[in-house]
Each structure stands twice: as structure tokens, then as C-alpha cells.
Structure 1
Amino acid sequence: MNIAIVGAGITGISTALEFARDGHQVTVYEQMNAAAEDASFAPGGWLSPLAAQSLAAPGAGMPLKSLRSGASLLQAPGMLGSANWRWMRQWKKNEKLAHKQGNQPFCTALHTLGSYSASLRWQNCEDTEMAAEHKAGSLVLLRTPQEVAFWNTQLASLQTLGVTCQLLNATQAQALEPGLGQEIAWLNALHFPDSESINPRLWAHYLRMQAQAIGAIFRTGISVQKICTQPTGLEISGQLHPFDAIVLCTGAKHQLTESLGLRLPLMSIWGYSVTAPVRDALQAPRAAIMDWAQQATISRMGQRIRITAGLEMGSHASARHHNHTLQRMYRLLNDWFPGGAHLSSPQVQVWRGNRSYLPDGLPAVGPSGHPNVWLNIAHGSHGISLAAGCARAIADMVQRQTPAIDMQAFSPQRF
């Protein structure tokens, strides 16, 4: 088949690679001037969705009234009754439903897809650490007795799912991450030994080169104006380019899905990362940690350290950076790993990226409702974690084969 992929982030690249491996003719269209230039440019690179459950799960445990504060984790501009607030109400409604069901359907679906992705991720990769600055293991740091109590209620469910997780005291955590600052009051840490972290952009380009080596074509700097369904094709610069099938991997760009008449409740949420050179290897993180209270992640990427935090709803590319979030990120990095990062270096990189979420916290992977047009979108914070599994599943669906795992929970038709 002649397949078009729209979007060259980690999801689009992974999807192109799976189709190319199956022997299809694949063309990837990206409006940016290079692959992995948008949401896949500088995110945190965590590969274990359930290790960051609060960000993945609907509602994230935040009361709506907390969003009125400029110091809140999640910024939601607009008045009560606006589109942002209507979406938030759906998000909180799904959170209540998940809690009534013990959060099991959500966790099971996400863990199954995450595990499937992990089983595929390193295929045909000879040196994972060299290819993506890969690190094994992660810690989630818990500051209060309430956080410890919450996670104690979750451990049995995680074990039922087959997730290896251990609650550590501060001394045990510091044995794994010797650079952790000793002046911060914190109680415990969760250790996920099977968790992983990587450099997302480096990994995306590694996969792109693999796809190109087996025939996939990447056309960057190309704006797709319209998805045509009769006949199936893409309208580019006023000209129709016919294809047998089209897969939209457009991330937070919703114009094409909206032009098809799809009314998915998609929300664009922006987040930040700060990447700095390692100043002292003995004081820098060895792998990845999350500050649970602040919902910030800190990852080691070769000779650099990256911290990610912040969620801004309904913002736009030209909006000013949220200074409170950035200042908090600098403080957290210096508090947790004092002297580990060279924060005054001219090589410090501040990045703001956009991701797409659905109010139940799960992606939309499957048929769009239009013949030969398929969706692989709305992965939220977990595009890098879920990319391999979603790509393989959508390739199977397009070829009318049954995916290796049940994808019903991710069907776009659920809305």
C-alpha cells in the first residue's frame, strides 16, 4: 500500500517505521523544517506511564478552584464556562469515575499498552544507551505522610498489574541517587527498577534514520491543507496527492481532525523543560526522579540534566513563558541536586512544548470514521512511552489484522 503519515514527531516516525518494515511505500509529511522539532524536541523522556500516574490520570487530583492561582501547576486561562473550563469539568468527571472503579480500567489499559511498547522499543537496536542516552530505573520522591499514605494504597494495584515498585526510606533512596540534596525534608521514595528514561529527540532521529534506510520518505516544511476522503488523499499547495491510507499523527495540531468533522474533545496543554550541562558528575542524577508534590521530573541525558514541569491549557506558541513555573524548576533542580547542573552556562536550554490530551487520559488510536483515514493522536505526556505500541497496533489495523493487544480502550469512537 501507499501510506501517508502526517506528522514527524516520535509517534509519526514510529508509525512510518512499522509500515516500512511491513514493506509498504511510506511518505511522512511534516510542516516543521525537520523531524522531532515540536512536542518531541525536549520533553522529559520518561518511559513508564504509571510511574507518573498523576499527570496521566484524569484530573491529576487538582480541585478546579486551585487553577485560579497563578502559582498553580496547571494554568487554565479563561472564565468559568469557557472551553478550557468545560474540558476541565470532563477531566474531573473522568477522575471521579476512575476512583469509583479503583482506577483499574485506566491503569490496566495504560500499563498494557506501555508494556507492549516496551517489548517492541529496542528491536533492531544494538546499543540502546548510545542510541538514546538510555538510563534504567527511576525514583518518585514523596515529601509528606499524605503522599506516602496515598501510594501505600496503590502498591497492591501496581503489583497486580505486574509493575515492580518498592517504597524506600531516604537512606535507601540516597544510595541509588547519591547526589540528592540532604537539606530537603522528605520522607520516602518509590523505586521503579524497570522504569527507563531516554533522550526523546535523539531516539526519534535514530528511528527516523532506520525508517529512511528501508525506504520511508520524509518531506519536511510541507503544510497539508486538507484531508480528502473521496478519493483518499492529501491536498498540498492546491494539488491532490492520492494514497491508499492516511494516518494522522498530528500531535497538538487539531486543524486536520477538525476539518474532517471529528469532534474529539482534544485539549492542547503546554509544558516546559530546562536542560543544563552537568557541572559535577558526583552531584548529578544517575537516572531519573520525579518530585511528586511538584510534579516535576529530573532526568540525566548523557552530559546534561533536564527538568520538566508545568501545564498550561489553551495557550499559544507566542505566549510569554510562565515565570513562576520556570523559577520553581530552577529551584527544584538546585535543591534536589545542588551543584549538579551548570545553570549559569550559556548552553542552558529553555523549551516550551505543546501536547494534546483527551479528558480520559488515554490516546485515540484507530479508525477515524472516514474510510482509509486513521488516527494515532492525543498521547499527552506519554508519546515517547507509547509510540512503539501504538505504531504497531495502527499498522495492524490498517492492514486489517488483529493487534497483539486489545485496543478498544483507545478507540477514537469512544467519544
Structure 2
Amino acid sequence: MGVSPRSVRMKVLVLGSGVIGVTTAWYLARAGHEVVVVDRQDAAGRETSFANAGQLSYGYSSPWAGPGVPMKAVKWLLMHHRPFVFWPRPDPAMLSWLARMAANCTERAYRRNKGRMVRVAEYSRLALAELRAETGIEFDHRARGTVQLFRTQKQLDHVGDDTGVLDEYGVPWELLDLEGCIAAEPALARVRDRFVGGLRLPQDETGDAFLFTQRLAELACGAGVEFHLGVSVAGLRAEGGRVRAVETDHGDFTADAYVAALGSHTPAVLRPLGLRLPVYPIKGYSLTLPVTEEGAAPVSTVMDETYKIAITRLGSRIRVGGTAEIAGFSTSLRVPRRETLEHSVRDLFPDGGDIAAAQFWTGLRPMTPDGTPVIGRTPLPNLYTNTGHGTLGWTMACGSGRVLADIVSDRTPEIDVTDLGIARYGAG
């Protein structure tokens, strides 16, 4: 997986300094390009990458759209501690996105989309391992796997819905009984009456996406990447079928090539160019609490399948992340969502962390209706996208950045990318 410089050096402008934008900038610089990053925040990783669930979920990469999901969504909406929340609004983009997602809730679409996602995620796992070996970057990393915890026998009986695709891509997995779950996560012995078994994905990892993004941004600066932070993008100016400049509140920025990695805000930048990108913000929440008793805290990630909440160990902290809230671009912190996160972590790790000292956060995940990110070329030959990763931006970051750098550099990527671009939506 070595990176070789391209013979023709270009100036590439990356819009966005989240984990996707920064990894893209890093790999573009490693490919020999002059790279400039523009972002409205005053530091890298300040938005969706700031306090996500902390999972590097290579084996757990799955689309939200799947068989039975519409009926499950109704059930989730009726739960007291709801994993799914919907605020109806007269928003054509939201309605179109929901319709597209519903069309992907078939067995055939689920297997196709999960296959795409696992392909990118597995490549990203290898890319991150190589990056760590090359740079020594530290970000509260652990490689102890994920346990998807089933509270009911019905959940355990449906585990085969996912393992078939994992087998196709050679992703190892282990089906665990109650004692197997406790062997993987010893603190669960204190609450053995809460669950019946689990699915363990031993190659999954954990880490702080914000720390990683900040430290990789520092390394990128050392590699010649230029960051312009606190700069708001107003739009792209195109002439003659090509992007000619990025218009900002600090004047125009010009380059040979442009990469849109603005998360949920990417569609608004592309729309005036006639490009229809079905990425919609799905709001997520997290709690970050200090560990109070080592033996009572998780050692890696436990995915509470009932509430769709991930409880992850990050150094001396526990990160509790979850909820899918469709509420447009609202970033208000809603108390009921906090109560759901608190319920899950109290129930499974009651003595592990100090909930009273927890930091409550929310962010907007850029979600596509098929779950797969949008990586690659657009109909404008010098404009590229790297967005739409949903809950898996941290998981897929290194692989996505490396693939995009290959595409910009006219190199053949090391994985199939023919079905990852905007063209699959007939978008422009």
C-alpha cells in the first residue's frame, strides 16, 4: 500500500477540515501535490469529528436501510428510550432522502450496500495501520474488538443477517454466549442478567477521532499542507464546465482541483452547479465521562443493540454515542436524548464512569440513503467529493482519503471505486 508521487504536481483545494478532509489532505500531500485546506472552524475536527462514538467499526459497517427497517422505525419511535427520532418538517430534501432510503430497504440493496461499505472499511483498516506505523500518531487507540450485545434471544437469532457479507469479505467474527461476552468485556459480569449473547468483531478498534484529526493536521502542516481556518465557504464559481474558484468571506481561493469534504453541508455547495447529492444530516449525540473504576469500565466497544448505542473506552474516558435524529440542521441538545445515553451506560456499566461529570454533545452525520459514502469524480472534471460517510466517517477516513488521492492523481485505486461516486445517483 505504498504511496508514490504523481509526476504532475497540482494545487488541490480541500473544503473541510474534519477527519475526512484532513486525511484527504494528508494523502494528497503524500502523493506530491500542493494542498490547501479551508474550513470555517478555528481548528481541525471541530464539528462532526469532535465527539463521535470513538469506534473504528470495520466489521460493523452496515447501512441503516435494510429489510424490515421501516417497521422497526415505527417500533423505535414508540420506545421510551428511542434510538430513532423524527421531527416532521416541510423539507423537500428530507422527504426525497427518506424516499430513497426506503427504496434501499430490500435484501438485495442491503447486501449490495453493505458490501460496498465493508470494502471501504477494510481498506481503511489497513491504511490506518500503515499510517500509525509510519508516523507513530497517537489518539487513545485500542485494538480490542467490538461486542455487539444482544439483550434478547430474537436479536441473537438474526445474527446471520450480517455474517454472510462478513464471510464474503473475509472479516472474522465470533458468536458469543453470555460467558463469552463476559470474557471479552469482564465488567459485564456485574450485569449478566441484562443480555443473552453477542457478536464479536475482533478486528474492530477504538480511538478518539478528534485527537487523531488534530494530530494528523499537525503532521500534514509539516508535510507542506496549508490550512486556512476560520474561513467560511460561500460557494463554488464554475466557468466552461470547470470549477474556477471557491468564494469565501476571505476572498477567492483558486486551485487546479477541488475536493468537497464538507459533510452534511456539501450538497448546498454542489447544488448551484446542478449537482444533486442526496446527503442529509442525521443528528447524533454523545456523552463523555471519566472512568471511575477500571474494572467496571469497558475495555473496548460494546454496542447495545436494543438502543443502538455504542459504549467505547477512550483512554481514561468512556464515550457513549448514539441516536439517529432527523431534525434538519438543528444542533440543539435535547434532554431526552441524554437520558437514553445515560440509561444504556448505567444499565451495562453502572460503576464504570461518573455520569454527573459527563460532557453532552451533538453533531450532524452526513448520511446517504444507501449508507455508502460518495467518493470520487463529479461531472465537472476538476471537482471531487469525499463525503456521506454517516456514522462511519472515522472508520472509513484513511481509506477514503487514500482512494480520493489516487483518483485525483489519475492512479488506479487499490480497491474498486466504480460504484462509490456521485454517478450512482444520476446526479447532474
Task: Give secondary structure in 1 for the equivalent of 2:269.
Answer: helix
Cα distance in 2, alignment partners of residues 344 and 283 from structure 1: 17
Cα distance in 2, alignment partners of residues 172 and 225 from structure 1: 53
Q: Give 1:114 deviation, angstroms.
A: 0.9
Determine if contact 1:290/1:298 at 8 Å carries over to the other structure: yes
Q: What are the ranges of 5 or more consecutive residues in structure 1 without an aligned counterpart?
A: none
Q: What are the ranges of 5 or more consecutive residues in structure 2 without an aligned counterpart?
A: 1-9
User: For residue 23 of structure 2, what is the aligned residue in structure 1?
Assistant: 14
User: For residue 146 of structure 1, what is the aligned residue in structure 2?
Assistant: 154
User: For residue 258 of structure 2, what is the aligned residue in structure 1?
Assistant: 246
Cα distance in 1, alignment partners of residues 157 and 120 from structure 2: 27
**2:87 paired with 1:77:** yes
Moved more, 310-319 or 16-25: 310-319
**Identical counterparts, % of pairs:** 27
Count of aligned pairs: 408
- What is the Cα-based RMSD across aligned positions, in Å? 2.2
Counterpart AA for 1:206 = R
Determine if contact 1:229/1:371 at 8 Å carries over to the other structure: no
Q: Give 1:160 deviation, angstroms.
A: 2.7
Q: Give 1:66 deviation, angstroms.
A: 4.4
User: For residue 389 of structure 1, what is the aligned residue in structure 2?
Assistant: 399
Cα distance in 2, alignment partners of residues 288 and 87 from structure 1: 30
**2:410 paired with 1:400:** yes
Q: Give 1:65 deviation, angstroms.
A: 3.9
User: For residue 279 of structure 2, what is the aligned residue in structure 1?
Assistant: 266
Q: Give 1:354 deviation, angstroms.
A: 0.5
Determine if contact 2:331/2:364 at 8 Å carries over to the other structure: no
Cα deviation, 1:165-196, whole Å, max 9, x if unaligned, reads 11111112112211123254311111111111
Q: 1:65 to 1:189 in 2, by over 3 A?
A: closer
Cα distance in 1, alignment partners of residues 116 and 277 from structure 2: 19
User: For residue 206 of structure 1, what is the aligned residue in structure 2?
Assistant: 215
One of 359, 367, 380 as aligned partner of 1:357: 367
Cα distance in 2, alignment partners of residues 247 and 127 from structure 1: 25
User: For residue 282 of structure 1, what is the aligned residue in structure 2?
Assistant: 295
Q: Give 1:60 deviation, angstroms.
A: 7.9
Scaled by the length of structure 2, the TM-score of the pair is 0.89
Q: Give 1:338 deviation, angstroms.
A: 1.4
Cα distance in 2, alignment partners of residues 81 and 359 from structure 1: 16
User: For residue 303 of structure 1, what is the aligned residue in structure 2?
Assistant: 316
Task: Give secondary structure in 1 for the equivalent of 2:47.
Answer: coil
Cα deviation, 1:226-281, whole Å, max 9, x if unaligned, reads 21223622122373322100001000113212232211222111100000000000
Report matched runs for 1:177-216 at 5 Å.
177-180=185-188, 181-182=190-191, 184-216=193-225
Cα deviation, 1:283-306, whole Å, max 9, x if unaligned, reads 011111101111000000000001
Q: 1:255 to 1:112 in 2, by over 3 A?
A: same
Scaled by the length of structure 1, the TM-score of the pair is 0.92
User: For residue 411 of structure 1, what is the aligned residue in structure 2?
Assistant: 421
Cα distance in 1, alignment partners of residues 49 and 161 from structure 2: 33
Task: Give secondary structure in 2 for the equivalent of 1:4.
Answer: strand
One of 119, 123, 141 as aligned partner of 1:134: 141
**2:173 paired with 1:165:** yes
Q: Give 1:88 deviation, angstroms.
A: 1.9
Counterpart AA for 2:42 = N
User: For residue 89 of structure 1, what is the aligned residue in structure 2?
Assistant: 99
User: For residue 324 of structure 1, what is the aligned residue in structure 2?
Assistant: 336
**2:345 paired with 1:337:** no
Cα distance in 2, alignment partners of residues 60 and 208 from structure 1: 41
Determine if contact 1:276/1:349 at 8 Å carries over to the other structure: yes
Cα deviation, 1:47-69, whole Å, max 9, x if unaligned, reads 1244253x644578242544764
Determine if contact 2:58/2:203 at 8 Å carries over to the other structure: no
Q: 1:127 to 1:370 in 2, by over 3 A?
A: closer
Task: Give secondary structure in 2 for the equivalent of 1:122.
Answer: helix
Q: Give 1:351 deviation, angstroms.
A: 0.6
Task: Give secondary structure in 2 for the equivalent of 1:125.
Answer: helix
Report matched runs for 1:26-45 at 5 Å.
26-45=35-54
Q: Give 1:126 deviation, angstroms.
A: 4.5
Moved more, 40-49 or 379-388: 40-49
Determine if contact 1:133/1:302 at 8 Å carries over to the other structure: yes
Cα distance in 2, alignment partners of residues 210 and 17 from structure 1: 8
Cα deviation, 1:65-104, whole Å, max 9, x if unaligned, reads 44764844222211699653442232121011xx146x33
User: For residue 123 of structure 1, what is the aligned residue in structure 2?
Assistant: 130
User: For residue 224 of structure 1, what is the aligned residue in structure 2?
Assistant: 233
Moved more, 226-235 or 307-316: 226-235
Determine if contact 2:194/2:348 at 8 Å carries over to the other structure: no
